Amino acid sequence: MNQILFPMNSNFRIPGQVALITGGNVGIGRITAIELAKKGFQVVIAGRSLERTQPVLDHIKSLAVDEPAIFLPLDLASLASVRECARLFIELHLPLHLLVNNAGVAGMRGLTKDGFEMTFGVNHLGHFLLTQLLLDKLKASGPSRVVTVSSRAHKRAPGIDWDALCRPTSTWTGIREYSVSKLANLLFSLELAKRVQGTSVSTYSLHPGVVDTEIWRAVPHWARPLLRLRGFLTPEEGALTTLHCAMHAPQQESGLYYADSQPTLPAPLGQNSELAAKLWERSEKWTSNR
């Protein structure tokens, strides 16, 4: 494993804080969970498989942390599973200082259990509902943060075709759907910042870099060289911006989009507050009766 570059001061610790991270069993989420545990966070990992998460739970235990990491079942492709995950978290009677909306798919085709385009449903809608259900907990635990892992791929989104979000994936590679879902992540964080203004919750979205993880597993082999053109980062390098937003980015930078641990201007669509508000309203409607 490459040496972790973060943080510069290795004595930096934030004990007594609780972080919930989605998709913490592999890739960027795995490194994020381990690094947060090293900094003193009690880590709760929400994901699809305890079996696949157990090595991370064991790794964290081996760090002699104050509190062991906890696993909660979560399938973001099912809104019922999202509700159950939030319920189980609340039943733990822990505070929540940090929610990392990290899990994601690319190149997956089809529909979620609730009939939404798969990539949009997992990457945006599941996280939208999870955050909504945990918002009171975040407010009560403030200062607290919501960090949402978006992507520079949002720049390729041609806009949001609302009807297409309720149909199966239509492109061969799923790359367009992925770009739209990552635009949605960014707009969600922007609108959330507005809606929690005046509370002690702050929100951040980010591009982690192009990182060598399993995210590309569903992308057809012939399309992968396109993705590799810019060179891959290691997962350790890819977790740095998430960790920066989780622990170091100033509270007053709420709603901003980060890359390389710096606030960065998103594409014009990613700054469109009308689109962000519309996405929020649709997401609310789509998740409220399911």
Comparing C-alpha atoms, which of 201, 237, 214, 232 is closest to residue 23?
A: 214
Cβ closest to ligand NAP, residue 141 vs residue 249: 249
**Which residue is catalytic, options 178, 204, 257, 258?**
178
By CB under 6 A, residue 266 contacts ligand NAP: no
Select from 104, 174, 255, 266 the one that contacts ligand NAP (CB under 6 A).
104
Per the annotation, the verdict on 204 as an active-site residue is no
* Closest distance of CB 119 from ligand NAP, Å: 9
Contact with ligand NAP (CB under 6 A) among 20, 26, 147, 175? 26
Q: 17, exposed or middle or buried, with CB in 10 Å at 0-12, 13-18, 19+?
A: buried
Residues 6+ apart with CB under 8 A from 95: 18, 137, 140, 141
Q: Which residue is nearest to ligand NAP (CB)?
A: 27
- Considering the rule CB under 6 A, would residue 99 count as an interface residue with ligand NAP? no
Q: What SS3 state is found at 290?
A: coil
Query: How many residues sit in the footprint of ligand NAP (CB under 6 A)?
Result: 29
42 to 61: interface string for ligand NAP, x by CB under 6 A:
-----xxx--x---------
How many whole angstroms separate alpha carbon 219 and alpha carbon 12?
Answer: 38
Q: Which of 42, 102, 131, 241 binds ligand NAP (CB under 6 A)?
A: 102
Of 149, 184, 187, 192, which one interacts with ligand NAP (CB under 6 A)? 149
Binding to ligand NAP (CB under 6 A) within 202-241 occurs at: 207-208, 210-211, 213-215
Give me the helices (H) in 7-158, please.
27-38, 50-62, 79-91, 118-120, 126-140
Long-range contacts of 269-277 (CB under 8 A, 24+ apart): 269/154, 269/157, 269/159, 269/183, 270/154, 270/155, 270/183, 270/186, 270/187, 270/190, 271/190, 272/187, 273/190, 273/191, 273/194, 275/160, 275/187, 276/187, 276/188, 276/190, 276/191, 276/194, 277/191
Of 29 and 270, the one with the shorter C-beta distance to ligand NAP is 29
- Give least dist CB 57 to ligand NAP, A: 13
Closest to 228 in 3D by CA, of 240, 216, 237 = 216
Residue with tokens 């004595």: 11
**Closer to ligand NAP at the Cβ: 141 or 203?**
203
Site for ligand NAP in 105-144 (CB under 6 A): 105, 122
Nearer to ligand NAP, 141 or 183 (CB): 183
Q: Where in the sequence numbering do the catalytic residues fall?
A: 178
Residues that bind ligand NAP (CB under 6 A): 22-23, 25-29, 47-49, 52, 74-77, 102-105, 122, 149, 151, 207-208, 210-211, 213-215
